[in-house]
Amino acid sequence: MIAALFRRAERDRALLAALFLLVLPFALPFRATAVNVLIDGLFAVGFNLVYGYLGLLSFGHAALFGVGAYATGLALLRAGIPWYGGLLLGLLAGAVIAAIIGLLATRTRGIYFAMVTLALAECVYYVAYQASGITGGENGLRGIVVAKIDLFGITLDFVDPLTRYFLIAAIVALALAALSRILASPFGAVMEMVRENEARARAAGVDVRAVRVLAFVLSGAFSGLAGGLQALHLAIVPIETLDYGTSGMVVMMCLLGGAGTFFGPFVGALVYLVLQNLVALISSHWQLPVGVVFMACVLFFPRGLWGQIARWRPA
Amino acid sequence: MPDRTDRRIGRRGWLRGAAALAAGAPFASAPFATLRAEEPPIRVGFPVPVTGPYATEAADQVRAAQLAIAEFNESGGMGGRRAELLVRDDKLDPGEAATRAIELIEKDRVDFIVGSLSASVQLAVNTVTKQRGILYNSISQSDQIVSSPDWGPTSFHEAMTPHMTATAVGRYAFGKFGKRIAYVAADYAYGHEMVAGFRAVGAGIGAEELAEIKMPIGTRDFSPLMPRLEALRPDILFLCNFGRDQQVFVKQAQESGLKRMTHIVAPILLQTARIAGGAQAFEGVLGGTSYYWGIERDVASAKAFNDRFRKAYDGRLPSDYGALGYSGVRSVLSAAVKAGSTATEKVASALAGMKYDFYKGPQYYRACDHQSVQSVFIIESKANGRVPEDVFNVLETVPGQEDLLKTCAQEGLG
């Protein structure tokens, strides 16, 4: 019964995700955090494409997210490009930087892949840090103010919390639908084949390296889009978006929710952000209870929160 | 039977009493009832890095800000309307701070935001408040927040700017020690801004710059620099770094003998860092500060502030950045009282140009850029005194004058 329910959920996953996004801001005590859940959720989903479905652990995803954020921010701030153009540029920039990092990093595997991605992402960080004339350096990029959004002849107030949420939610829902389509395609199956048995995939005629690079580029596009949305939402791009802390955060969210599942990373982002914010409101020692919850998750939900639920079968 | 009678009378008595109370209640509690029902408290959002490397300073800022709120409420508030402080942890992260600021505005409906403890974090909060028309008073150093394009009509800056700090400290040092100078600077915004500030002062008096050495943050060995600096024999060595880097440098300068040949001057000496580092590490080092509790001997408002702080927090004394939490909150609340309103434009116009003396002598917000013009104290580390906070000698008070600041035209606000 429950298994059938989850099979059903898996089939209509894009629709289900859209429904979930529709009720999320009313379920959460904070709207701005709800928007962060959307953005980090999309970022984690993009990361999951490489980690969960392809089995490559990247520690450099901050570069893909951050470059997307900077591209969107700079396009709006310096070039005066409208918001949708800025977002598209963010998406493309994420894909381009992913192609560069992916081409270099896919020459290695395992722990070396993680280290090379981390090192290359740090290079990106220092370039942005030093180029303070363009990026604002340590102070970050500020003043990416989008007050009004014109959409098919309707002008929306982007400062209004709910309008901002639903606009960003609509874009995230579209991205999730695209991701669902990718995963359902033959390419999605090939990714999982490479993860499960690389030698066999090779023997079956799969160009393993090309699959890895392509998946990395797609992951970069999703991450870059998430970065661009963050630039619009917060009106700033802090240098910290390129920091290795951001790379660590997305790994954590993905593991917490369940790698290799469609909804897992999103659930991970939700739990991660809401838990932190709620506990921080009550106590300044929020790190302790949050750490305990994380340890409990690792011990009792090794497949992640969603991963464990989705695999649960009544005895 | 008598029992029942008693009981009946008791009940009647109770009923009568209750009726009388109910009838009297509207009169007795009327002022409170209307006050509570119609006037929500004035809400001040206070995002500071409660966790992370600046947690000690942030905790002190919260203590001082709470003091300002308590004082405001004790003195009757704004026509009876009380104030409350909403402390949020910005985790020393600009993205986190921006999110917290958005939530403070959208969900908690704060009237003002005061806070932050780093340049990038305050600029992030400032972007959010500027966009939403909420008044923001920053309590940490930055030149950008009072310059175009970051500055906005809602931006106020209670803390000093790096430029004014370097100008005040530079003038003192050049006047006392000579004109042959060398810089050792941390290779990031803080170090660069401070060097630029000293250089501007030095250019005016014909100082001779012998070297500028930039070192990465987190450098743990400065000993390779020592022979070079000893050979240069500068009159002044400006040490533009922070925290542990600063402690390590001073210790190694002591060991190598460099300290005996030159005067080591830091733009800012933090009380918390000096207490943590100990007397030996900072011996003979000069620097600037926005506040040191020891000025209470000469400044009446400092004495009053310290006494209140001591009383509220078991004899503890406020730190430099902590005190900014007090004046940052108090100045905004005073402006609200002056304006008779919490509307952003009214409070902003009351605050611009406002003269006040809350804790360190006379100050005022310059009308064109909302920078608080204030005195800078030149201090010197000394041996530990009677109380843990007794760590500095005040050498000179540089009075708050506009010639310490960049002109508004230089800031792009002319």
How large is the ipTM? Answer: 0.91
> What's residue B266's pLDDT?
93
DSSP state for residue B354 in the 8-state scheme: -
Question: Are B50 and B89 contacting, i.e. CB atoms less than 8 angstroms apart?
Answer: yes
B51/A286 Cβ within 8 A: yes
Mean pLDDT of B262-275: 91
A313: pLDDT confidence band, cut at 50, 70 and 90?
low
Residue A47 lies in a domain: yes
In a domain, A292, yes or no: no
The better pLDDT of the pair B168, A148 is held by B168
B403-409, long-range: CB < 8 A, 24+ apart = B404/B163, B404/B164, B404/B167, B404/B168, B404/B373, B404/B376, B405/B161, B405/B163, B405/B164, B405/B167, B405/B366, B405/B371, B405/B373, B406/B143, B406/B147, B406/B161, B406/B163, B408/B366, B408/B368, B408/B369
State residue A2's pLDDT score: 67
Segment A268-296 shows an average pLDDT of 88
B126 and A142 within 8 Å at the Cβ level: the answer is yes
Report strand pairing: B363-365 vs B355-356. Answer: antiparallel
Tell me the C-alpha to C-alpha distance, in Å, between residue B190 and each of B135, B153, B194, B239, B387.
26, 25, 6, 11, 31
Per-residue pLDDT band for B72 (boundaries 50, 70, 90) equals very high
Is the pLDDT at A9 greater than 90, yes or no?
no
Which residues make Cβ contacts (< 8 Å) with residue A21, sequence separation at least 6? A38, A169, A172, A173
pLDDT of residue B12: 52
CB contact under 8 A, A238 and B95: yes
Beta bridge partners of B264: B237
Residue B47 C-beta-side C-alpha neighbours within 13 Å = 33
Nearest to B50 among A145, A236, A284 (CB): A284
Token code pair at residue A257: 């929710």
How far CA B150 is from CA of A82, A148, B190, in Å, comes to 21, 20, 17
| Structural contact between residues A253 and A307, judged by C-beta atoms closer than 8 angstroms | no
Percent of chain B with pLDDT over 70: 91
B61: closest CA of chain A, how far (Å): 14
Q: What is the DSSP letter of B187?
A: S
Instruction: Determine the pLDDT at residue B8.
Output: 46
Residues 6+ apart with CB under 8 A from A161: A25, A31, A32, B102, B106
Q: Is the pLDDT of residue A194 over 60?
A: yes
Q: Which of A9-23, A114-128, A141-155, B25-39 has the lowest mean pLDDT?
A: B25-39
* Domain boundaries along the sequence of chain B: 2-38, 42-160+295-374, 163-289
Tokens of B355: 């003269």
Whole-angstrom distance, CA of residue A21 vs CA of residue B158: 41
Task: Tell me how far apart the alpha carbons of residues B136 and B114 are, in angstroms, rounded to a whole number.
Answer: 6
| A279 assigned to some structural domain | no
Residue A306 lies in a domain: no
Whether the pLDDT of residue A270 is over 80: the answer is: yes
Record: contact B132-A159, CB cut-off 8 A: yes
Whether B236 and B284 have beta carbons less than 8 Å apart is answered as no
- Cβ-Cβ pairs closer than 8 A, A with B, add up to 82
Positive/negative CA dihedral, A207, A208, A212, A213: negative
Which residue did the predictor score with more confidence, A285 or A11?
Answer: A285
3-state secondary structure of B394: strand
Residue B5 pLDDT exceeds 50: no
State the pLDDT at residue A309.
83
Question: Is B24's pLDDT higher than 90?
Answer: no
Residue with the larger pLDDT of the pair B414 and A118: A118
Return the CATH architecture of domain B42-160+295-374.
3-Layer(aba) Sandwich (3.40)
| pLDDT at site B34 | 44
Report residue B9's pLDDT band, with 50, 70 and 90 as the boundaries: very low
- Segment B207-216 mean pLDDT: 92
CA distance A179 to chain B (A): 27
B369: contact with A, CB 8 A cutoff = no
Q: Residue B31: pLDDT band by 50, 70, 90 thresholds?
A: very low
B118 touching A (Cβ < 8 Å): no
Cα separation values, B282 from A10, B43, B294, B380, Å:
64, 41, 18, 9
Q: Do A142 and B127 touch (CB under 8 A)?
A: yes
Q: Which residues pair with B25 in a beta bridge?
A: none
Cα distance between residue A162 and residue A156, in whole Å: 11
For residues A120, A121, A124, A125, the Cα torsion angle rounded to the nearest 10 degrees is: -140
**Across residues B99-125, what is the average pLDDT?**
94
- Characterize A245-283 residue by residue with b for buried, 16 or more Cβ atoms within 10 angstroms of its Cβ, and e for exposed: ebbebbbbbbbbbbbbbbbbbbbbbbbbbbbbbbbbbee
Q: Which of A6-20, A204-218, B171-185 has the lowest mean pLDDT?
A: A6-20
Note whether residue A225 is domain-resident.
yes
User: Is residue B33 pLDDT above 60, yes or no?
Assistant: no
**pLDDT at B373 (0 to 100):** 97
Average pLDDT over residues B126-149: 95
pLDDT at B339 over 90: yes
Phi, psi of B116 (to 5 degrees): 90, 155
Average pLDDT for chain A: 91
Domain tally, chain A: 1
CATH topology assigned to domain B163-289: Rossmann fold (3.40.50)
> Which tokens sit at A227?
């970065």
B98 and A CB contact within 8 Å: yes
Answer for the pair A274, A37: CB distance below 8 angstroms, yes or no.
Answer: yes
Opening angle at CA A168, ends B151 and A241, nearest 5: 55
Nearest to A132 by CA among B218, B102, B167, B191: B191
**Band of pLDDT at residue B32, cut at 50, 70 and 90:** very low
User: Across the interface, do B103 and A138 touch by the CB < 8 Å criterion?
Assistant: no
Q: How confident is the model at residue B254 (pLDDT cuts 50, 70, 90)?
A: confident
CA angle B294, B175, B357 (to 5 degrees): 35
Evaluate whether residue A304 is within a structural domain. no
Mean pLDDT along residues B253-266: 90
B114 within 8 A of B136, measured Cβ to Cβ? yes
Q: Do domains B42-160+295-374 and B163-289 have the same CATH topology?
A: yes
pLDDT band, very low/low/confident/very high, at A35 (cuts 50, 70, 90)? very high
B290, HSE (Cβ side, Cα atoms, 13 Å): 27
Rounded CA-CA distance B46/B43 in Å is: 10
Q: How far apart are CA B137 and CA B33, in angstroms?
A: 32
For B361-404, the pLDDT digits (tens) are: 999 999 999 999 999 999 999 998 888 999 999 999 999 999 99
Is any Cβ of chain A less than 8 angstroms from the Cβ of B148? no
Q: What is the mean pLDDT of chain B?
A: 88
Judged by CB atoms within 8 Å, which residues 26-45 of A form the interface with B? Answer: 29-33, 36
State pLDDT tens for residues B150-207: 999 999 999 999 999 999 999 999 999 999 999 999 887 788 888 998 998 999 888 9
Tell me the C-alpha distance between B109 and B89, whole Å. 17
Instruction: Provide mean pLDDT across the span B245-249.
Output: 86
Question: How far is B184 from B198, CA to CA, in rounded Å?
Answer: 12
Q: Which of residues 104-133 of A touch B (CB under 8 A)?
A: 132
State the Cα–Cα distance between residues B267 and B281, nearest whole angstrom.
17
| Domain assignment present for A130 | yes
Confidence (pTM):
0.89
| pLDDT category of residue A314 using cuts at 50, 70 and 90 | low
Chain B residues within an 8 Å CB radius of A36: 99
Range(s) of the domain holding residue A67: 13-243
Tens-digit pLDDT profile for residues A218-228: 999 999 999 99
